[in-house]
């Protein structure tokens, strides 16, 4: 009888240890190499979603892979199960490659584009310009970015680079070009790149609908449900908005951007097919621009 009792206790302990093993979630974190410290914000959002869902889905462990890879390769690595989740701008095509967690996590900030310039072009850009005047500047973009199609269909001449760092290097040695960056990206990136030949233009911005989602493998329905549940809870209790609006990124925005007298030129995004998605991101962008003192009716 005693032997049987000990065996049952052993089985219970073994079962508990199996249940208690944290779920390992692999995510790329190449912030240092890519010069994108704003990635720390997205990692914080990921942790928030996982924390908010922990009581339902259990413990987790983030395995951060320090590997600089481009956007298209992230989808390939996701399909091969080498990573479990990443964040990127949503398009209809990408939504077909992987499973999006369709809750915006960047509050439309990636569609509010600030133009990075060579300081030699300061005189040309340091005044209010029309959209047609801005279209005279060549636009630098990463070769696999969805923004390429957006800008080309909006009448801009696009030159593609291997990645964002290459775009910055090209810009340091040329004029007549601009590098449009999401408004939360530009200050940390310029600071990280550390070249005094680069500056940004706060008088002429571009605006188009753009949503950043988490993506998971189509077969990983468990992680998708978990992230969707966690983000939904964070939306309901206000912690997701608080994480964004109280972040160091937002402090940087308010410090460097007062858009009260800025010209914000709206262009279309043919890559968003969902009317609901379009309405949601437009509302988020309007709210964010208000925080930066922009009013279209000024």
Question: Under a CB-based contact definition with an 8 Å cutoff, are residues 215 and 100 in contact?
Answer: yes
pLDDT the model gives residue 193? 87
pLDDT at 194 over 80: yes
Six-digit token string for 242:
């608080």
Q: Mean pLDDT across the chain, nearest whole number? A: 89
Query: 104, 112, 109, 108: which is closest to 234 by C-alpha?
Result: 104
**How far is it, in rounded angstroms, from Cα 112 to Cα 109?**
5
Alpha helices in 85-205 (DSSP H): 92-97, 122-125, 131-134, 147-153, 164-172, 186-193
The predicted-structure confidence for 156-190, as pLDDT tens digits, reads as follows 999 999 988 999 999 999 999 999 999 999 998 89
Q: What is the CATH number assigned to the segment(s) 23-108+211-267?
A: 3.40.190.10
- Which residue ranges does the chain devote to CATH 3.40.190.10? 23-108+211-267, 109-207
Q: What is the CATH number assigned to the segment(s) 109-207?
A: 3.40.190.10
Distance set, CA 239 to CA 49, 50, 232 (Å): 10, 13, 10
Q: How many helices (H) and strands (E) does the chain have?
A: 15, 11
Six-digit token string for 273:
């097919």
Six-digit token string for 96:
């077909």
The helix or strand, by DSSP H or E, that contains position 20, with its residue range, turns out to be helix 2-20
Task: Provide the residue count of the chain.
Answer: 298
Q: Is the pTM of this model over 0.75?
A: yes
pLDDT bin (cut points 50, 70, 90) of residue 13 is: very low
What value does the mean pLDDT take over residues 89-95? 91
**How far is it, in rounded angstroms, from Cα 228 to Cα 215?**
11
Phi, psi torsion values for 295, nearest 5 degrees = -135, 120
């Amino acid at each position: 009888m005693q032997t049987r009792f000990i065996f049952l206790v052993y089985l219970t302990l073994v079962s508990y240890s199996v249940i208690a093993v944290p779920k390992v979630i692999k995510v790329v974190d190449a912030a240092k190499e890519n010069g994108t410290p704003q990635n720390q914000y997205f990692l914080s959002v990921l942790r928030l979603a996982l924390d908010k869902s922990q009581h339902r889905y259990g413990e987790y462990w983030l395995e951060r892979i320090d590997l600089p890879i481009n956007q298209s390769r992230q989808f390939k690595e996701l399909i091969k199960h080498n990573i479990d989740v990443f964040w990127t701008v949503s398009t209809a095509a990408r939504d077909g490659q992987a499973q999006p967690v369709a809750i915006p996590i960047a509050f439309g900030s990636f569609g509010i584009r600030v133009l990075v310039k060579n300081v030699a072009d300061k005189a040309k850009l340091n005044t209010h310009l029309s959209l047609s005047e801005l279209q005279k500047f060549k636009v630098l973009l990463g070769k696999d970015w969805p923004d390429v199609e957006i800008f080309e269909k909006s009448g801009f001449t696009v030159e593609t680079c291997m990645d964002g760092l290459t775009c910055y290097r090209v810009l340091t040695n040329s004029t007549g070009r601009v590098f449009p960056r999401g408004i939360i990206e530009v200050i940390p990136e310029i600071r990280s790149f550390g070249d005094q030949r680069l500056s940004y233009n706060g008088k002429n911005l571009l605006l188009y609908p753009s949503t950043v989602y988490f993506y998971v493998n189509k077969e990983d329905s468990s992680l998708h449900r978990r992230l969707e549940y966690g983000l939904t809870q964070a939306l309901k209790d206000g912690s997701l908005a608080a994480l964004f609006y109280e972040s160091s990124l937002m402090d940087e925005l308010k410090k460097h951007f007062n858009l009260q007298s800025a010209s914000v030129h709206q262009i279309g995004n043919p890559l968003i097919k969902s009317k609901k998605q379009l309405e949601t991101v437009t509302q988020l962008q309007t709210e964010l621009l208000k925080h930066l003192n922009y009013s279209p009716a000024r």
